[in-house]
Amino acid sequence: MMGEIDSCTRLTGLFGHPVGHSLSPLMHNRAFQELGLPYLYAAFDIEPSNIASAVESIRALGLRGVNVTIPHKVAVMPFLDEIDEEARQIGAVNTIVNENGRLIGYNTDGRGYVQSLIEEGNINPPDARVLMLGAGGAARGVSLALLRAGVERVVITNRTYAKAEQLAVELTQLFPGRDIRSIPVEQIACEIKESTLLVQTTSIGMHPDNEASPIPAEYLHSRLLVSDLIYNPLQTRIQRDALAAGARIHSGVGMFIYQGALSFEYWTGRKAPVHIMREAVLASLTADK
């Protein structure tokens, strides 16, 4: 399956814990193969207590770079030489690039999301009136990227209201002059009427809870694009409810593919073969069913 591995092969990979179910190795190796690039992507299961030496090993072993996932996205930061501005604002790194021993941290999650939203959701960010469900790590990256892309209005709601409030305050400091607010979940019914983009960032509806939805179906309306970060299942309950209400939907699989595509481009300097990456991921997700 892989191209030839020889003494010129450059190694990339994933630092996480666990990493057993990740689709990143499949997606990146297919992309390297497609372009005939002498790269290999491996999954490294790193215990939290080993994260400092794991980052040091990128230098020692001359890895070209790695993706970083749960639970290491924040923990790697003190061991890097440089952190890009966007990753600093998000407060987490998902991509490390080794530039001749100098380790640079980036975060491609939010940008990957926005790129997929524009390509697949057919949305012009400055026109979108965003209601965001959830205020966890993914919500932070995605809301920042939406604001960086020109979104004027972001309303955040979350089960734990204090977290929505805190995120709205931090975003307002970074983007003064934009309409950024938090609301308690009881106000969703009214707020959603004014919204055109619903971004679902909670873990509600994720496999195996395929029938769960964070909001009642009757709140959804036909002027909405319902974007769910979840990609397993490929279509979530809220998205099925959205289609029934005449709304459009956007799947989280695009975010996964584009965040990987941006990492790929940092490491190889080549444009990522997004269609091949998508094909590999979708084939694997549908084969699992």
Active site residues: 73
- Contacts with ligand NAP, 209-248, as mask; x by CB under 6 A: --------------------xxx-----------------
Least distance (Å) from ligand NAP to the CB of residue 33? 22
Q: Fill in the per-residue mask, 13 to 32: x = in contact with ligand NAP (CB under 6 A), - = not in contact.
A: --------------------
Distance separating alpha carbons of residues 171 and 184, to the nearest angstrom:
17
Task: Using the minimum distance from each CB to ligand NAP, give the nearer residue, 98 or 278.
Answer: 278
- Residue number with CB closer to ligand NAP (5 or 189): 189
Binder among 32, 39, 41, 256 for ligand NAP (CB under 6 A): 256
Pairing mode, if any, of strands 102-106 and 95-99? antiparallel
Q: Which lies closer to ligand NAP via its Cβ, residue 38 or residue 136?
A: 136
CB of 229 to ligand NAP, least distance (A): 4
CA–CA dist 16, 7 (Å, integer): 26
Q: Long-range contact list for 157-166, CB < 8 A, 24+ apart?
A: 157/131, 157/132, 157/133, 157/182, 157/183, 157/184, 157/185, 157/187, 157/188, 157/191, 158/133, 158/134, 158/182, 158/185, 158/202, 159/185, 159/202, 160/135, 161/185, 163/135, 163/136, 164/135, 166/135
Instruction: Name residues contacting ligand NAP, limited to 74-113 (CB under 6 A).
Output: 109
Q: Nearer to ligand NAP by C-beta: 29 or 202?
A: 202
| Binds ligand NAP by CB under 6 A, chosen from 13, 65, 233, 252 | 252
Cα diameter, the chain: 61
Q: Measure the N-to-C terminal CA separation of the chain; round to a whole number of Å.
A: 23
Structure tokens at 59: 């230098």
Part in contact with ligand NAP (CB under 6 A); list of ranges 17-25, 123-131, 176-184, 198-206: 198-206
Nearest-approach distance from CB 53 to ligand NAP, in angstroms: 25
From the list 48-56, 173-181, 249-257, 262-270, the region that binds ligand NAP by CB under 6 A is: 249-257
Q: Is 114 in the site for ligand NAP (CB under 6 A)?
A: no
Separation between Cα atoms, residue 263 and residue 66, nearest integer Å: 8
CB of residue 187 to ligand NAP, shortest distance in Å: 15
How far apart are CB 142 and ligand NAP at their closest, in Å? 8
C-alpha separations of 115 from 76, 261, 283 in Å: 25, 10, 22
**Range 143-182, binding ligand NAP (CB under 6 A):** 158-160, 163
| Nearest distance in Å: CB 265, ligand NAP | 17
Site for ligand NAP in 118-147 (CB under 6 A): 134-139
Residues lying near ligand NAP in the complex (CB under 6 A): 109, 134-139, 158-160, 163, 201-204, 206, 229-231, 252, 255-256, 259
